[in-house]
Structures are given as C-alpha cells and as structure tokens.
Structure 1
Amino acid sequence: MNATDFAAAQWTRATGAGVDPHEYRRVTDSLSSLGDWGPSFLHTGHGYLQRAENAENAGSPRSAGEYLLMAARWFHLATLAPYTEAPRAAAEADHAFGRALTVLEPDARRVSGEGFTGWLRGPADAPGTVVVVPGLNSAKEEFLDLASALLARGLAVFAMDGPGQGVLAATTTFVPDYERVVGRVIDTLGVARIGLVGLSLGGYFAARAAALEPRVAAVATVSGPFRLDWEELPPPVRDIMTQRAGGAAAAHEFARHVDLAALAPRIVAPLLVVEGEQDAIPGVANGERLARLAPHGSYLSVPHGDHLLGNARPDWLPHLSDHLTHTLTGTPA
C-alpha cells in the first residue's frame, strides 16, 4: 500500500483520535512513501512538545498540557505504519501523555502491574470505574474522547496498555488469557466491580474477560471480533499480529483462540455491542451474534460506521457512555 492509500485508510481513525483533520492532511499530503509516515508523525509530535515548552515558559500550564496531549496523539499514530523506531514513538506517546495528565489532572495516578500499565483518572469517590482496553495496534493514548465522555459522567477511568500493546509492545507479547490481566488490574485498583470497554481486538479481550472475571459488572465492545480466521485476515493485519504476538506461529495460534461462541453465554454483565456496517476487517462485523448469545446483550449497528467508527462518533459514543454509567451506578447518565 502506498502512502496516499494508507493515509486515506487511517483518516477516520486519526481524526477520531482527536488530531486536527486539516493538519493531518498537510502532514500526509507531504509523504513521498509509507516509510516517511513514522518520521513525519514524530516530527509533528515534537512540534507540539516545543509548543508545550513555550506555553509553560509563558506561564500557561493548561495550554502546555493540551499541547502535550496532542503530542501524545501524534506519537501514537506514528506507530500505525511499519517503522523501525515504533517503540521509541510509543515511549514518547506514553511520556507525553503522563506529562499532560500531571499538568491537567494532578490527581491522576500511574498504575502498573504484571502485564499492564496505565493512568487512573477521575474522582477518588467515583461511583464506578471503567477500564478502557485497546486493540491490535492501539494504545491508551488513542481513545481520549471516550475517556472524556466517561469522566464527564462522573466515572473513574483507567486507560491501559496490556501485553503487546502501546508502551509494553516493545517488551511483551499478546496473551490469550487477557482475563487474568483484567483480574490483576481490578486487584491493583482495589475496586469491587468495574466496567470494561474494548475497542477493535480489545473488544474480544473485554468480552472474554467479562465471561471469565465475575467482578466485571458492565461491558461494551466497539468493532470487536466475534471470531477470527487467520486465512481471511488481510496481510497488514497478519503482519501486525505477527509482530505483537512474537512470531508467525504464535500469531496463528493466537488468532485461533479468538472465538467467543462458547464464552458469550457466560457474559452475565449487561453488554453493549457496537459495530459499523462499513467495517472492512473480516471477522469483525459479526457482533450481532455476540449480543444475541449473551444473556443481557444489546446491539447497536451504525450503517455508515467504519472500523472503530471514527466517522460516526455521535451515533454511538454518548449511548455507550450512558450504558456503562447507568449499569455501574443504577442511575441515568
């Protein structure tokens, strides 16, 4: 795939993550090859770091924090294309995100444990806590609008990277038993019950965890696969999975485990399944079956939505946020 086609394919994902659409066009229009993607996005992120430093020196800490959040977005997006310095970009995204929260939300705290790391945000006495689970090549820095929507409803949010994800991708690989990771997160956070929202492959992780971890009290999935067939996956997806799983054989075996047929009936928590009918990834646009098999499943299909529905945020984000809030608190959002 050339740079133009790749940029077009990532358009709604990038703008859904919160980067300015006009700046995205300017950056991607200047790419002569896909190999320029990572360096150009890193360069853009560094520009925001400089703006943050300038704002800090001028006595404008809030502007500095906002620039740092934008830098984190660009650094994360730098990892989407094949790039030898992707671990560096992920580390820079992680660092910028942490610096931003230190400025903008002094009560936010870094929480890490075996196989996970992330930031816990929101009031200490929040009536519920939602864990945001990323997917194949996403990370905690990508879904800031989702976190903001949940925080605005009074919930606490733990945005995490798990094994093979985000800043941990350089040192760990995917695990099939993600429910164990979620269990350790719950133990470390010290909460009695949580909500989960999983995006893309994170939808599978969240649904699996909801089936096998009884402390999950609410769950939602966005563009999550019900099952995957290795032979049907597009080559770019196979390549990413091979990298994140630690080799071709491990990736093939991991994909074989992605099947919710037996687990869906065990999801007793209220479940909302969101998917876009224009999602082009094989195995993902089959959420209706997951919702139907789960005892308390509901299904929201957006006709014009693509993968991760970055082109349809108003059609699902408020509804999903309300679902988690109402389920965790028992009150309207």
Structure 2
Amino acid sequence: MNTQEFAAAQWTRATGVGVDPHEYRRVTDGLASVADWGQSFLRTGHEYVQRAEDAASPLSAGEYLLTAARWFHVATLTPYADASRGAAEADQALSRALTVLEPGARRLSGEGFTGWLRGPADPPGTVVVVPGLDSAKEEFLDLVDALLARGLAVFAMDGPGQGVLAATTTFVPDYERVVGRVIDALGVARIGLVGLSLGGYFAARAAALEPRVAAVATVSGPFRLDWDELPTLLQEIMARRAGGTDAAHAFARQVDLAALAPRIPAPLLVVDGEQDVIPGVTNGEALARLAPRGSYLSVPHGDHLLGNARPDWLPHLSDHFTHTLTGAPA
C-alpha cells in the first residue's frame, strides 16, 4: 500500500479522533513513504506541545495539549511506528491537558488498567470506555465529551495490551476481571460500558459475566473472528498485542459471542457501519439479536468505527446511556 492509499484508509479514523482534516492532508501529502508516518505525526504532536509551552493562557495550553495527544495517538496507527513511544507521548499530553483543563479529573490505575475519571463528583451514572486492538483512551475524546455533556461521569481506560499499557502487558482472555477491578476502583455500584472495535467484544463479554454492568454498547465490535481470514496487518498487530503469533491465534479463536450474548442482562446497543467489511470479522447483528435486551443500529454509509458518520450514531449512543443509567428520556 502506497502512502496515499494508506492515508486515505486512515482518513475517517484520524479525523474521528479529532485531528484537523486540513492539517492531516498537509502532513500526509508530505510523506515520502508509509515508513515516515510515525515520525511525521510525532513531530506534529511535538509542535503542539511547544505551542502549549508558548500559550498566553492555561486554556489555550490545555487545548494545544489535547491536540498533541490526538496526533501522538494517530502516530501509532502504522506497523512502522514506534507504538510504545507514541502511546507514552499521548498519555503524557492527555495527562497534562486534563490537569490544566479539568482539575477535578482523577487518574485511576490498578492491575491491568489505567485511565482518567472525568465529570461531576456525584454523577447520576458512570460510563467506562474500552478501546480496541490498536486504539487507546486518547482516541475517543469526542465520545467522552458527548457523555460528559449529558451529566455522566466517564472513565476512559487503557487495559492490558492497550494504549500506554501495551509496552508492558498483553491481552488477557478474561477482560471481565479487569472491568471488575475498574468498578471497584471507581467505587460505584453499577456502570455503563461502551467498547469500540475489539473493545466491543471486551465490553459484551464483560456485560455477560460482570453483574454490575447495567448498560452496554458496542461500536464496530466483532461478534466472531476467523484468524485465517484476517488481513495480514491485523494478524501482525494482534500478535504484538497478545504476546506472539500463537497467543494471538488462541485469542482470536476465543472471540465468539454466540454463547455469551444470551447471558447479557443489561440493555445493549450494537452500532455497526454497513461499509465495515473487514475479512474474518463478523459484525454485530447477531449479538443484538441474541441478547435479551439488544437493539441494533446499522448505518448504511458507516465505515469501521463510523468516523465518517458521527451524527448518525453518537447522539443515539449517548442518549442510550443517559436513559438506561438515569431513567431520563432518551
């Protein structure tokens, strides 16, 4: 895949993260090869960190740091990137940004997780955001903002093998235990749980096995994976995140929600884009159909993670949690 093709393939994901589309084009148009991707995006992120250092107000500094976090994260979205470096830089920039912009935000970490709890001190509900194969807590800031705007508290996390923890941990088969430890750390009786991409599998699995999950949603989550049909790039990423090819193969075999879906008692919203047709990945219609309280939203023009269709699903998903966790009208 040449540079232009790769940049086009990442277009809606990068702009969905919140990267300015015009600057994205300027940066990617200047790439000589895909191998230059990581360094170019890291360099752009560092330019925003410098802008934060030079800013005339704390508000501007915090906004520049949030932008830097986005660029650092997108720097990791290529097999040629130093993902651990980009993830560490994104984590640091987000931490600095929230320290400035939201003094009440709290960093929570425990066995197999780390992240930021944002929102009111006494919220009507709390939602945990779970990333996927190569995403991280820095990727879904617009989702977090939509939930915060509805008065909910939000914990955006990295789990084992994800985000800043990918350098020191690998995927675990029992993600529901991680979610359980998160709930313990939050000190709440019940949570909403939203998982994106592979995080959709983690969220659905946790909702089936952790009784304190009171509402759940998945976005572009797999119902089933077939290792042999997965594109080579996805196999390589999964091998890195799972701790080797054999571990990745075993993990992929486990991703099958047929038996777990009927055991999800909470209201479940499954969101798919009909243009999301990754070989070896079965979309979520079957999950919604098999879950006792499942509903399905399929966006005809939506791609993977539906970065090209935010208005078609993000408000609906946010209202799903407001209604199920607080009883407020959807």
Task: Give the shorter-chain TM-score range.
Answer: over 0.9
Rounded to whole Å, the distance in 2 between the matches of 1:200 and 1:124 is: 29
| 1:46-195 equivalent positions in 2, closer than 5 A | 46-55=46-55, 58=56, 60-83=57-80, 85-195=82-192
* Residues 5-26 of structure 1: CA deviation (Å, up to 9, x unaligned): 1111000000011010000000
* Residues 18-73 of structure 1: CA deviation (Å, up to 9, x unaligned): 01000000000111111100000000000000110111xx2x11011000000000
> Which amino acid letter does the alignment assign opposite residue 203 of structure 1?
G
Change (3 A) 1:272 1:283: farther
Give the 3-state SS of the residue equivalent to 2:95 in structure 1: helix
| 1:239-250 equivalent positions in 2, closer than 5 A | 239-250=236-247
Aligned partners of 1:133 and 1:160 also within 8 Å: yes
Instruction: Give the superposition deviation at 1:291.
Output: 0.3
1:212 aligned to 209, 217, 227, which one?
Answer: 209
2:45 is matched with: 45
Rounded to whole Å, the distance in 2 between the matches of 1:238 and 1:83 is: 15
Rounded to whole Å, the distance in 1 between the matches of 2:321 and 2:84 is: 33
Give the 3-state SS of the residue equivalent to 1:69 in structure 2: helix
Instruction: Give the superposition deviation at 1:253.
Output: 0.2
Q: Which runs of 5+ in 2 are unaligned?
A: none
Aligned partners of 1:223 and 1:285 also within 8 Å: no
1:278 is matched with: 275
Aligned partners of 2:224 and 2:282 also within 8 Å: no
Give 4+ residue runs of structure 1 displaced > 6 Å after superposition. none
* Residues 247-291 of structure 1: CA deviation (Å, up to 9, x unaligned): 000000000000000000000000000000000213545211100
Rounded to whole Å, the distance in 1 between the matches of 2:50 and 2:194 is: 34
* Residues 302-322 of structure 1: CA deviation (Å, up to 9, x unaligned): 000000000000000000000
Instruction: Give the superposition deviation at 1:332.
Output: 1.9
Give the 3-state SS of the residue equivalent to 2:136 in structure 1: coil
Rounded to whole Å, the distance in 2 between the matches of 1:284 and 1:322 is: 28
Give the 3-state SS of the residue equivalent to 1:278 in structure 2: coil
Give the 3-state SS of the residue equivalent to 1:327 in structure 2: helix
Aligned partners of 1:279 and 1:285 also within 8 Å: no
1:17 is matched with: 17
Give the 3-state SS of the residue equivalent to 1:268 in structure 2: coil
Rounded to whole Å, the distance in 2 between the matches of 1:234 and 1:278 is: 16
> Which amino acid letter does the alignment assign opposite residue 252 of structure 1?
H
2:296 aligned to 295, 299, 305, which one?
Answer: 299
Change (3 A) 1:285 1:250: closer
Aligned partners of 1:276 and 1:285 also within 8 Å: no
> Which amino acid letter does the alignment assign opposite residue 191 of structure 2?
I
Change (3 A) 1:160 1:138: same
Give the share of equivalent positions with the same residue, in percent.
85
> Which amino acid letter does the alignment assign opposite residue 165 of structure 1?
Q
1:33 is matched with: 33
Rounded to whole Å, the distance in 2 between the matches of 1:86 and 1:220 is: 27
Instruction: Give the superposition deviation at 1:76.
Output: 0.5
Aligned partners of 1:134 and 1:200 also within 8 Å: yes
Aligned partners of 1:164 and 1:245 also within 8 Å: yes
Give the 3-state SS of the residue equivalent to 2:269 in structure 1: strand
Give the 3-state SS of the residue equivalent to 1:125 in structure 2: coil
Instruction: Give the superposition deviation at 1:83.
Output: 3.2
* Residues 75-107 of structure 1: CA deviation (Å, up to 9, x unaligned): 001011123522111101000000000011000
2:263 aligned to 263, 266, 275, which one?
Answer: 266
1:201 aligned to 183, 190, 198, which one?
Answer: 198
1:231 aligned to 222, 228, 231, which one?
Answer: 228
* TM-score, with length taken from structure 2: 0.99
Rounded to whole Å, the distance in 2 between the matches of 1:283 and 1:139 is: 23
Rounded to whole Å, the distance in 2 between the matches of 1:20 and 1:108 is: 25
Aligned partners of 2:225 and 2:255 also within 8 Å: yes
Rounded to whole Å, the distance in 1 between the matches of 2:129 and 2:281 is: 19
Give the 3-state SS of the residue equivalent to 1:273 in structure 2: strand
* Residues 115-164 of structure 1: CA deviation (Å, up to 9, x unaligned): 00000000010010000000000000000000000000000000000000
Give the 3-state SS of the residue equivalent to 1:255 in structure 2: helix
